[in-house]
Structure 1
Amino acid sequence: MSGTKTKIVIRQKMSNRILVAAGFPALGAVAGWLLKLLANWAVSWPWIPLPGPLELINNAPEPTATLVSLLVGALAGGVLVLMAEYGYVTVTIEDDQVTTDRGDSSQSVPRAMIHGVFADGRRLVILGERGEELAVESKNEGADLPSVKQLKEGFQEHGYPWLTEGDPYRDEYRRWVEDMPGLPVGGNALLKARAEALKKQDETNIAELRTELAKLGVFVRDTDKRQWWRHVQPADDQKSNHL
């Protein structure tokens, strides 16, 4: 009998997804109706700026005005549902590799390269032999992770090295300030650009700049829009140092 295990697919619980799919449009419809009531009330204020649009809403016939407000609010909620769906992370654990999928992006890591996996509720990280981050899914980059319990059980079932205590390199991180020493060439510029992306909550740029930093052996984590970094010497440099 083969010892190969069936692959495990871990994703956001269906009950949570249904709650979001039903709740956001409903809340949006309520918000649209409340905004209509606010517009009807605000049109009587003598100091209100740009009264024209408010008067247009106030003079719209009923029940059309109410129906339109409900529909617009529900559609806005539907957009939020689509954004949430795009952010859901699916983790597929197999005997020979681990794959994470989110939106239109996918990361696969062969088992032979994996020397540790941990999650802290905000990040799922797969570590390599030298402490390099082979794959990362982070909430600051728009990822919506399954529960840590689900992830832990899935990885342990397949015998992957799950790090219960979390990041073993947490004490090596240093808070980044502009032009600080110790970073490889180009590291400061990338961290400066990423700091701006964090301020703007530009999830795409935050993720792309993390990838560029990783090419330099620089790995980052974020706390309240502050960046902390550590440097792992590339394998080729390590080999050359021993020649």
Structure 2
Amino acid sequence: MSGKEMTTVIRQKISNRILVAAGFPVLGAVAGWLLKLLANWAASWPWIPWEGPVELVNNAPEPVVTLVSLLVGALAGGVLVLMAEHGYVTVTIEDDQVTTDRGDSSQSVSRAAIHGVFADGKRLVVLGERGQELAVESKTEGADLPTVKQLANGFQTHGYPWLPDGDPYQDEYRRWVEDMPGLPVSGNALLKARAEALNKQEESNVAELRQELAKLGIVVRDTGKRQWWRRVRQADEQKEHAL
């Protein structure tokens, strides 16, 4: 975290990033070496499913095959490091706005629109006046959000409404099942498409469908591959809640 001209930048701890950057290539090299040993062992079996590749590895001269297996494993680990770096979230908090960056995507929300911020360890959510989600960042495979403590300190330092107890609309969510009542036809269709995208682990499609649902006033969250939804409060409902 660093402060300059009332700006706080929160990102994954350097120590964690160094550990990932150094550890994944080493683990990849070890995995490559173990696969080479497995191939040597499998060559003695009476029948193996990938006989050609196994024989190729087994008959390759040493130390070339060992060096190549270590190099390929290390390169695979390096790819995972790049994927992790691309997935890290950076949160920039200023007195007049909040910006989240992940890879090539960026979201900015003005201070005036923000009525609540919370994190549950897996998600950072910025809420609007009617409970709509103005920005959402979730942990991805191989890359985490900054810690809840980091986020809480950053938002509280700038006077944002941090919600330490988490989502204030927790009890309003209903589990989605196909063609359930209470949703517009288009909402059910979008949730069905999103369920398929969740099953296929199509992260970009899942995020885009979340945005389409938001246009209908529907907020969605996930537990595994199950979807839960709630409606955004209308203006008159929000006034009653305030009273």
Q: Please classify the TM superposition score into its range, dividing by the shorter chain length.
A: over 0.9
**Percent of aligned pairs sharing the same letter:** 83
User: Are 1:137 and 2:137 matched, yes or no?
Assistant: yes
Aligned-pair distance for 1:47?
Answer: 1.8
1:59–1:71 CA distance, 2 compared to 1 (3 A): same
Matches within 5 A, 1:141-180: 144-180=144-180
For the Cα contact (< 8 Å) 1:91–1:100, is it kept in 2?
yes
1:68–1:234 CA distance, 2 compared to 1 (3 A): farther
Partner residue, 2:52: 52
For the Cα contact (< 8 Å) 2:101–2:107, is it kept in 1?
yes
1:141–1:125 CA distance, 2 compared to 1 (3 A): farther
For the Cα contact (< 8 Å) 1:137–1:143, is it kept in 2?
no
Matches within 5 A, 1:57-136: 57-136=57-136
For the Cα contact (< 8 Å) 2:195–2:226, is it kept in 1?
yes
Residues of 2 paired with 1:232 and 1:42: CA distance? 58
Residues of 1 paired with 2:146 and 2:168: CA distance? 22
For the Cα contact (< 8 Å) 1:127–1:135, is it kept in 2?
yes
Partner residue, 1:241: none
Across the two proteins, how many residue pairs are aligned to each other? 235
Aligned-pair distance for 1:139?
Answer: 2.3
Aligned-pair distance for 1:141?
Answer: 8.3
Structure 1 moving runs of 4+ over 3 Å: 140-143, 233-236
Residue deviations 1:10-54, cap 9 Å, x none? Answer: 000000000000000000000000000000100111121231111
1:186 counterpart letter in structure 2: S
1:140–1:212 CA distance, 2 compared to 1 (3 A): farther
Residues of 2 paired with 1:35 and 1:143: CA distance? 26
Partner residue, 2:13: 13
Residue deviations 1:102-159, cap 9 Å, x none? Answer: 0000000000000000000010000000000000001268862100000000000000
Structure 2, unmatched stretches of 5+, are 239-243
2:179 counterpart letter in structure 1: D
Secondary structure at 2:163 match in 1 = coil
1:149–1:125 CA distance, 2 compared to 1 (3 A): same
Residues of 2 paired with 1:157 and 1:147: CA distance? 16
Secondary structure at 1:186 match in 2 = helix
Partner residue, 1:205: 205
Structure 1, unmatched stretches of 5+, are 239-243
- Relative to the length of structure 1, the TM-score reads 0.92
Computed over aligned residues only, the root mean square deviation of the Cα atoms, in angstroms, reads: 1.9
